[in-house]
Chains A and B, each alone.
Chain A
Amino acid sequence: MDKTDMEKTLENRDLMERFSFASRFGLPRTIIAGFVLLLFIMAPIVGADLTMQVGNVINRFSWNAVLVLAMVPMIHSGCSLNFGIPLGIIAGLLGGTLAIQLGATGPVSFFIAILLATPFALLLGGGYGWLLNRIKGGEMMIATYVGLASIAFMCMMWLLLPYTSPTMVWGLSGKGLRTTISLDGFYGGALANFLQIPIDPANGLYFPTGAILFFALLALGMWAFLHTKTGTAMTAVGSNPLFARASGINVDKMRLLSVIMSTWLGAVGILVYQQGFGFMQLYMAPNNMTLPTVAAILIGGAAVNKATIPHVIIGTILYQSVVTLTPTVMTAMIHMDVSEVVRIIISNGMIVYALTRKVKGGSR
């Protein structure tokens, strides 16, 4: 900050908030950004292949970005962080498993899966939104436990539902879905292989053009939606519900809509994740998606009541950089594989930081 800036800040405290990097970006976020920068600088020094690392970050970004995007509508309408994303994921898993069960193959099955997931997402999202409207102010805790309870419930369902496709059920008993299902021949790589650009073909590294385009499309759609009349109304509900109600907006309807959107995006998000990852993971696996998703958008600069598309993009890149780079770089630096611990501390620390911050605007 140079001297003229300093003088301005003395004149106007508001301006300081706007100009000061740390206060706008947040201290933990600055630390994480610095940490990622350090990782990228150290990577070539410790002998890691930087091209490969960057390629991995891009690929992981393409897997996760849509899931992170699913946070945006609910934060906009003041429903806080969507710890209930497992509901959307479950809708997506139902869509994916049904698509395979019905015999869909190849990249088309990806879109069939989305199509099949949609009614579930609408139904679950609708119920979830109805519930959240009854408990305004306590969304986050209940969302967390709704997510956990529904995962546990689906664990029973995966065993009991009458799936028969031999690629999905246990070979021996012929019933009950496997914990991990390979998506080769189905929608594995459905988006990523579309128009892919080789980066390092020897190591199987490609630029996943299709997946990035798909995310861009959804992000653009979200951006456009937030600028429609309904979208601005939703933002108004989030930033000041009393004012929104006074100006004739149906607060409950807006919140319900946002929850359904979030849930549907969660369903699509997990399908995108699976097509990149190449496997479908059932049972307890959805639980492992919540934390990275919430942490990513917070790292990107979102708050409990404020999130934008840039937050999604920056957050996902920063978070996935941490996940991709720490194992190689940190292990080479200190000869201990602390990556998992670093990931846990960063993601949960970020959430605790967001929760303990004074929230402006009065909505919580």
Chain B
Amino acid sequence: METTIAAIATAPGIGGVGIIRLSGPQALALGKAVFQPAKPNFFARLQTNHLYYGYAVRPINRTVIDETLFVYMQGPRSFTGEDVVELQTHGGYLVLQSILEELYALGARPADPGEYSKRAFLNGRLDLTQAEAIIDIIEANSKAGLDAAVAQLQGKLKIELTGINQKLLRILSYWEAALDFPEDEITDYQVKDARTEILASMAQLQELLRTYQKGKILREGLSLAIIGKPNVGKSSLLNALLGENRAIVTSIPGTTRDTIEEWYNLDGFALKIIDSAGIHNTLDQVERLGVEKSLELFQRADLVCAVFDTSTPMTKDDDDILLLLTKTTKPVILVANKVDKTSNWQPKAEFLSVSAKNGTGLVDLLAEIKDRILLQTVAPINTPLLTRARHVELLQRAYLHLEDLNQALEILPLDFLTIDLRSAWQAIGEVTGDALTDNLLDKIFKEFCLGK
């Protein structure tokens, strides 16, 4: 860890603040080289974990790049366990990039993906759940997501799981004692009591597992698919929604050639709107492609907004889409567009009437979307959330072991019962980082690719 690394610590394009983070033995020297404190004596009495106001400057001629706050966090009591300096600027890709270039010229090395978290983990500053929560923070591009990540970092998940494991350990210790001390007076742990505890632990695990979907939404944002046959006004609806709100953060081409994904900040929730606005079909293929595309988008989305055109009669494609929607458990909002035009439309379900053209009903639509999001992400702050696939896998394994145990309780002898109990206990311990396997490490290091 002898090199000093530097990178932009904030997610691209989001928010009014851009942070550059330096970590390593040269962090302070390099940080000072690109910073001009507002008061010259700031550095003379530099303290760890204090904010200093000043300017990011070019070292060669001390010209100002941007207004900047300077924080020094002395190792090992920093996030990576090394000396860390953060430069907080007004953001903007060009500003951040210029500062970084100066730092690289001075000898800092660009950070590998996930290298900060990796250093923190390797320096023993983080346990596994914490390390992963850090990645979540790096990734979190919405406020609620950040809160969930912070809560997990503070150990809410860990506390919850430790609580379960203490219960399991208690039973295990009774049983193990009975096995190793058959001639001693060990009060038998009543199988009845064990069952109660095991069922309670299973319920707790299940509750946690249910939070995964919520956690995922908070972490990755929620994706909203706008579907519908061509020419019902999907793209105008998208433009109208985005046009209503200046919080558009970035626009990147989607994973498929024919879709566009737009990030949208809806009162702190990251909403990813996927639409097929980019589709330009040849005329003879229009109908078929439209339905296929709708289907595909539908699969990928957390929330579906199905758009219909009230100015023309419903077609078989509309019916197909409606049929599809009745079969899903995904939250669906039905939108009747073009209410500005005259209509002889006979609605077959409850529609939200909007006009993408003149803005009618857009506020209601946004409120409806927000309600649907809230339904899926209730109380993110005060409950532990599962946000990682690895945790889900381990806790599912623990759950299955407890299920097996519950079934075996009055049938198999005690030593078999301990096998499942112990395995459940270990699986939960792995989430909190108390156990280690080769596989686990492989997965962790794969996970680190995500953050910066």
A and B found bound together: no
